[in-house]
Chain A
């Protein structure tokens, strides 16, 4: 039989081929979430269209640009999704038209209504979206928008983006963000210290001495470690080796070798820490169980919390841990031994998933929520060692003590954040933007920062830290300046170009915001939680919690 003839039909369809390079990152489940999403972007600025470009290309379902402005000669100069011929036409309509050229399967809407009247008359409009993104929205309008969205716990998250010249920042307003597949490098427990019955039996029944040298060199190190632990306990009154006995434990493993060059035993030595990993519920996961949304279920509970509740119940029974992961790392071995070991793990993982599903069904019935599809249960169980819940906060609710802490660790980022805040506060107070290069406007903005800092309780002395606080060098870059210098550099830079939406800064923000939007929509990977500050003069970024 020619294998090619049997597999022709397996060739991917055009949808899969188009999205191949991203499906390898977020799989079909992430893609489906994207295709069901509706994104509202407020303003058709260069930054806004750059963000949308990076969401239209991977195929979000629908987007709306809300913008009542007409294209100015300035807009046509810095925005790739406008043209010289667009000048005078609706900015929303023109940019939607150009963006839709990027992907036939995406729907786009130009909404030329006035945001202020939407906020006053029909705020529910905002809640029909999966996500709202606002670039350089005036302070007072943004305050209103953010408080309307914050007021509804099930309302969409809001990404706030601010930029001027080479400086920018963004943050995400959400109450809580749950992540099933965080794609962290955390490895699940393989339970070598507390082998499940089939694994224990396999390791103990195996007659190591009776094996010939080839088979002996193919025993997977998982089996070696389970056996070594068992033997150690036998010789030490049932006690597992302690860290200080690591040398002796390793020596015991090496004594099991038949020949010097058995790589599987060497691998057991390098992986010996896995024998020390306690089979318990990781503390980060246990902490999630006390989340009120997990404790108190009702018919509005999301599948994530319903499953988390069931997971909590699962861990209260023998063996008091998370469901076993069916996925094994590659291990030096031969095919038969490896596949047999993999089979043991798969069987046990399936049995535990069945038990989890049984508990879940009871929870579902009791809470009165819809049953969870089995594909979602699979994903949840597969990733249950790396579940995450992010707790967010309302935009513009800066916490003074957090601000002081951030000044100590990330002085450069706080400086830029304050300078951008001062820019928008200036506009709110004077109903105009500062003039480029104006010394008078610079002084006004600087005063605003001084007032903000003294209200937060900051003074020069608090710079001198003796408590071992480390400046975040990764975010600050090589040069070391005082906080004051950072503030005045940033403020000076903002007054140099207070209303500049540079094409390169816009493109960079377009990438960053789209990445965060994709993480929010797919509930995969981990979005920022704080304010991400970007300085394209020092070519640095840093996220501050304030």
Chain B
């Protein structure tokens, strides 16, 4: 099987289905849509897309993109395949257990969908620099780690320069939990981003240490006692590996003994594993919905064949199908300096004309003299929160103000 995409890998009628939406606009398509060959050529030859994660969502995303006509796909994943992945990560077979997800997934997709090039990277997203991320037109994230998503989000937001459209890499992010999930489109610097919605995340239940140590009531309290207190006490420096079944068995034994002592019912091996690994239930069908939502948005962004999601799609599938599509608003901590200046000018009670801003001795933006204005102009597009840490003060000076004004910054 050829692994190099060539035009002749296509066969007549291959894109019969997709071409129906690429050959002509629909009633809601933007006027600038370049229907026909131009859009097909960009999608199939010019567009480079990066997929973060080759797990539950990643497998689905890769297959969807390949069938949708994206031919230059890159995928990053640092994990290897585990047996518990096989109930949903459909590019993997029992013989693949232990192998890198990115490599196996890429090979599978290239074999099934001829002419598509999938370039895997088995490693961390943090291994790559801005130059690497700059080569893509779009990024789709199918991760379960909040930290990794924050890093990816911060990297793309940091790279975005509003004056240079090519530096703005749309980020499409999906996530699922059981029958629920969400998909969103982040236009770095322009729309609400991952940081703006951190408060929407479910907080992980944390048990007070005194409950765990002194007054356990639930099986979870006994399991936490085993993992948080007893493991380090008895095992010393041995690091707890939650992927090691023998470690889970040890915790289960210790938790069961404690539960028995306190007459608490319900400690099982599976619950022990669930609590210490913080397992989130996951099924193929929800991943399919969310991955397909993400890829639909990718296709719409790449082709402009239809308006894309602005900017959040939330799904709850436990009672019927309930979804909510809305525009999540940017948090003001992502206020850029220019927006801050606009706000300042609007404030009637401040009456600052042509204000200059600084943080301590560091100028943020100076209106005069011209050399300094030019030197600090680049800061206008930077986030205030990047320059001034929370709780610190911005100094405002203006010819119209007889004194310098200090404003304390708090980020919500």
Bound Cα distance from A242 to B372, whole angstroms: 71
Nearest Cβ distance between residue B33 and chain A, in whole angstroms? 11
CB nearest to B311 among chain A residues: A539
State which of B162-170, B193-201, B257-265, B361-369 sits at the interface with chain A.
B257-265
Query: Taking the complex as formed, is A330 at the interface, i.e. its CB lies under 8 A from any CB of chain B?
Result: yes
A338/B217 in contact, CB under 8 A? yes
Which of the residues A3, A57, A477 comes within 8 Å of B90, measured between beta carbons? A57
Within 8 A of A (CB), among B146-188: 178-179, 183
A526/B288 in contact, CB under 8 A? no
Nearest Cβ distance between residue B350 and chain A, in whole angstroms? 34
Query: Taking the complex as formed, is A58 at the interface, i.e. its CB lies under 8 A from any CB of chain B?
Result: yes
A496/B320 in contact, CB under 8 A? no
Bound Cα distance from A542 to B273, whole angstroms: 37
Query: Taking the complex as formed, is B132 at the interface, i.e. its CB lies under 8 A from any CB of chain A?
Result: no
Interface size on B, residues (CB 8 A): 95
Query: Taking the complex as formed, is B336 at the interface, i.e. its CB lies under 8 A from any CB of chain A?
Result: no
A436/B114 in contact, CB under 8 A? no
A437/B23 in contact, CB under 8 A? yes
CB nearest to A437 among chain B residues: B24
B67/A80 in contact, CB under 8 A? yes
Query: Taking the complex as formed, is B125 at the interface, i.e. its CB lies under 8 A from any CB of chain A?
Result: no
Find chain B residues with CB under 8 A from A3 CB: 250, 252-254, 256-257
CB nearest to B205 among chain A residues: A330
Find chain B residues with CB under 8 A from A12 CB: 269-270
Bound Cα distance from A22 to B281, whole angstroms: 6
Given the known inter-chain contacts A21-B87, A24-B274, A543-B320, please indicate yes or no for A78 contacting B253, CB distance below 8 A: no
Query: Taking the complex as formed, is A468 at the interface, i.e. its CB lies under 8 A from any CB of chain B?
Result: no
Which of the residues A4, A57, A87, A496 comes within 8 Å of B88, measured between beta carbons? A57
A539/B296 in contact, CB under 8 A? yes
Within 8 A of B (CB), among A505-544: 505, 507-508, 510-512, 514-516, 518, 525-530, 532, 536-543
A335/B216 in contact, CB under 8 A? yes
Bound Cα distance from A319 to B276, whole angstroms: 42
B289/A508 in contact, CB under 8 A? yes
Find chain B residues with CB under 8 A from A493 CB: 26-28
Query: Taking the complex as formed, is A299 at the interface, i.e. its CB lies under 8 A from any CB of chain B?
Result: no
Query: Taking the complex as formed, is A283 at the interface, i.e. its CB lies under 8 A from any CB of chain B?
Result: no
Find chain B residues with CB under 8 A from A538 CB: 28, 307, 325
Given the known inter-chain contacts A22-B281, A57-B87, please indicate yes or no for A474 contacting B307, CB distance below 8 A: no
Query: Taking the complex as formed, is A102 at the interface, i.e. its CB lies under 8 A from any CB of chain B?
Result: yes
Query: Taking the complex as formed, is B76 at the interface, i.e. its CB lies under 8 A from any CB of chain A?
Result: no
Bound Cα distance from A10 to B267, whole angstroms: 12
Nearest Cβ distance between residue A425 and chain B, in whole angstroms? 20
Find chain B residues with CB under 8 A from A331 CB: 217
A502/B17 in contact, CB under 8 A? yes
Given the known inter-chain contacts A76-B11, A84-B114, please indicate yes or no for A541 contacting B323, CB distance below 8 A: yes
B253/A496 in contact, CB under 8 A? no
B326/A18 in contact, CB under 8 A? no
Within 8 A of A (CB), among B214-260: 214-218, 245-246, 248-250, 252-254, 256-257
The contact string, 1 if C-beta is below 8 Å from chain B, for chain A 67-87, is 000001110111110011001
Query: Taking the complex as formed, is B286 at the interface, i.e. its CB lies under 8 A from any CB of chain A?
Result: yes
Which of the residues B24, B64, B273, B300 comes within 8 Å of A496, measured between beta carbons? B24
Bound Cα distance from A165 to B29, whole angstroms: 13
CB nearest to B307 among chain A residues: A537
Which of the residues A8, A18, A77 comes within 8 Å of B16, measured between beta carbons? A77
Nearest Cβ distance between residue A413 and chain B, in whole angstroms? 12
B17/A18 in contact, CB under 8 A? no
Nearest Cβ distance between residue A48 and chain B, in whole angstroms? 14
Which of the residues B18, B296, B322, B326 comes within 8 Å of A78, measured between beta carbons? B18
Query: Taking the complex as formed, is B378 at the interface, i.e. its CB lies under 8 A from any CB of chain A?
Result: no
CB nearest to B11 among chain A residues: A73
Which of the residues A80, A492, A536 comes within 8 Å of B63, measured between beta carbons? A80
Bound Cα distance from A20 to B280, whole angstroms: 10
Q: Which of A21, A76, A87, A165 is most buried by chain B, counting CB atoms within 10 A of its CB?
A: A21
Given the known inter-chain contacts A3-B257, A22-B87, please indicate yes or no for A10 contacting B20, CB distance below 8 A: no
Bound Cα distance from A166 to B262, whole angstroms: 57
B23/A436 in contact, CB under 8 A? yes
Bound Cα distance from A111 to B263, whole angstroms: 56
Within 8 A of A (CB), among B322-338: 322-327
Nearest Cβ distance between residue A273 and chain B, in whole angstroms? 22
A58/B270 in contact, CB under 8 A? no
CB nearest to A165 among chain B residues: B21
Find chain B residues with CB under 8 A from A510 CB: 285, 288, 292
Find chain A residues with CB under 8 A from B324 CB: 474
Query: Taking the complex as formed, is A499 at the interface, i.e. its CB lies under 8 A from any CB of chain B?
Result: yes
Nearest Cβ distance between residue B43 and chain A, in whole angstroms? 13
Query: Taking the complex as formed, is A109 at the interface, i.e. its CB lies under 8 A from any CB of chain B?
Result: no
Within 8 A of A (CB), among B89-124: 90, 93-94, 112-114
Q: What are 27 pairs between A and B in contact, CB < 8 Å?
A: A4-B253, A7-B252, A7-B253, A7-B269, A11-B249, A22-B281, A25-B281, A53-B90, A57-B87, A58-B283, A72-B13, A76-B14, A77-B16, A78-B18, A78-B67, A102-B90, A166-B21, A166-B296, A492-B27, A496-B20, A496-B24, A501-B17, A503-B67, A507-B288, A510-B292, A511-B289, A543-B320
> Which B positions have Cβ atoms within 8 angstroms of A?
11-18, 20-21, 23-28, 60, 63-64, 67-68, 83-84, 86-88, 90, 93-94, 112-114, 178-179, 183, 214-218, 245-246, 248-250, 252-254, 256-257, 262-264, 268-270, 273-274, 279-293, 295-297, 299-300, 306-307, 309-310, 313, 315, 317-327
Other contacts beyond A335-B215, A508-B292: 14, CB < 8 A: A7-B256, A11-B249, A12-B269, A20-B87, A24-B281, A77-B11, A77-B14, A102-B90, A503-B64, A508-B289, A525-B179, A526-B318, A539-B309, A541-B315
